[in-house]
Amino acid sequence: MTRKRVAVAGASGYAGGELLRHLLAHPEVEIGALTGASNAGQALGSLQPHLLPLADRVLEPTNLDTLAGHDVVFLALPHGQSGAIAAELGDDVVVVDCGADFRLADPAAWERFYGGDHAGTWPYGLPELPGQRDRLRGATRVAVPGCYPTVSTLTLAPAVAAGIVEPDVVVVAASGTSGAGKAAKAHLLGSEVMGNASAYGVGGTHRHTPEITQNLSSLVGGTVAVSFTPVLVPMPRGILATCSAPLARDLAGGLTAEEAHELYAKAYADEPFVHVLPPDQWPQTKSVIGSNAVHVQVTVDEAAGRLVAVGAVDNLAKGTAGAAVQCMNLALGLDEGLGLTTVGIAP
């Protein structure tokens, strides 16, 4: 089989670097053009020194001339920049967008949370959602989910889909600083982050809120209310999401932790990248760093009448770049796990 030629636009950023780390381990692809914006003309090794096999490659401008002639183009660009480039690429090219441009189905939600014109809606790159894997097979356009929506959705989906909770969920998710991107920002300086934890995007204002709502609502054919609070914590990467919801009225006091765990284990039994931990073992971010795995645990708070589920994900892997490679594999008809691992890095 001829290897697929792949380009990465935005190769100098965190998501672009993580994409290249996975693609270097992929047996069926050849890495083609690597592009940057202000970094065009620089050697990749000066910006991503951990990618030794590609250290001498020079970043090119992000334009059609550079990206043309590839079988797959990954767009690891700031929000709002993918639409114009994607429109220039032919329908025979698989375009995988790691930004938010094509995730939302509701133009009004895009305008409210991102601003500007809505570029459209592409097949959503979360294969674990019901029916989504079939939509991704053979697709030439894929919208990779946001990192918070990935872990929040997968942590809550079995409970919401089974109707064992009310459609009113609370998500509090702690994330490392790489989720904010590589650009210099004062609030991400070491002296601001170390020894500190801070909430942001509070009160339903974070951009990932409508995406989480969209995903969970699709499971019930109605609207699921989502209260989402992100928390910035002093670590480079990883997300730990604590999610809860009231037990369904006809189950309050009747659902046990064992029954909830059994439901989750059955829901994800055939999923290669979602692992429901044994009872009483709780997810931790260090266990998933560097991997495409999602660790999930669930229990019932009987006194409060609520289901509590916790999920951990590497925001740069399954939360972005790993998911992008997983979706590319499906789009190309390849084994879904090529180039990916469920093995984390420890300690």
What residue ranges in the chain does DSSP mark as E strands? Answer: 4-9, 29-36, 60-61, 72-75, 94-97, 141-143, 168-175, 198-199, 225-232, 239-246, 274-276, 294-301, 306-313
DSSP 10: T
Residue with tokens 């069926």: 28
pLDDT for the residue numbered 253: 64
Pairing of strands 4-9, 60-61: unpaired
- Closest by Cα among 283, 274, 246, 255 to 170: 246
| 307 within 8 A of 257, measured Cβ to Cβ | no
Cβ atoms < 10 Å from Cβ of 313: 37
| 241 within 8 A of 298, measured Cβ to Cβ | no
- Which residue(s) pair with 36 in the sheet? 61
Architecture of the 4-144+319-332 domain = 3-Layer(aba) Sandwich (3.40)
Please give the Cα distance from 250 to 202 (Å, whole number). 32
DSSP of 53-114: GGTTPBPEESSHHHHTT-SEEEE---TTSHHHHHHHS-TTSEEEE-SSTTT-S-HHHHHHHT
Please give the Cα distance from 13 to 47 (Å, whole number). 8
| pLDDT tens-digit map of 140-199 | 999 999 999 999 999 999 999 999 999 999 999 999 988 777 776 777 777 788 888 999
- Which part of the chain has CATH 3.30.360.10? 148-313
Distance of CA 124 to the CA centre of its chain: 11
SS3 letters for 201-237? CCCCCCCCHHHHHHHHHCCCCCCCEEEEEEEECCCCC
Tens of each residue's pLDDT in the chain, 347 residues:
689 999 999 999 999 999 999 999 999 999 999 999 888 999 999 999 999 999 999 999 999 999 999 999 999 999 889 999 999 999 999 999 999 999 999 999 999 999 988 999 999 999 999 999 999 999 999 999 999 999 999 999 999 999 999 999 999 999 998 877 777 677 777 778 888 899 999 999 999 999 999 999 999 989 999 999 999 999 999 999 999 999 998 876 689 999 999 999 999 999 999 999 999 999 999 999 999 999 999 999 999 999 999 999 999 999 999 999 999 999 999 999 999 999 999 88
Please give the Cα distance from 305 to 163 (Å, whole number). 15
Pairing of strands 239-246, 168-175: antiparallel
pLDDT for the residue numbered 338: 98
What percent of the chain is modeled with pLDDT above 90?
Answer: 88
The DSSP H or E segment spanning 135 is helix 132-136
98 catalytic per annotation: no
Tokens of 5: 């030629």
User: Looking at domain 148-313, what is its CATH homologous superfamily?
Assistant: Dihydrodipicolinate Reductase; domain 2 (3.30.360.10)
- Which part of the chain has CATH 3.40.50.720? 4-144+319-332
pLDDT for the residue numbered 119: 93
- Which residue(s) pair with 230 in the sheet? 173
Q: Quick check: bond before 347 cis, omega within 30?
A: yes
| pLDDT tens-digit map of 39-65 | 899 999 999 999 999 999 999 999 999
pLDDT for the residue numbered 71: 97
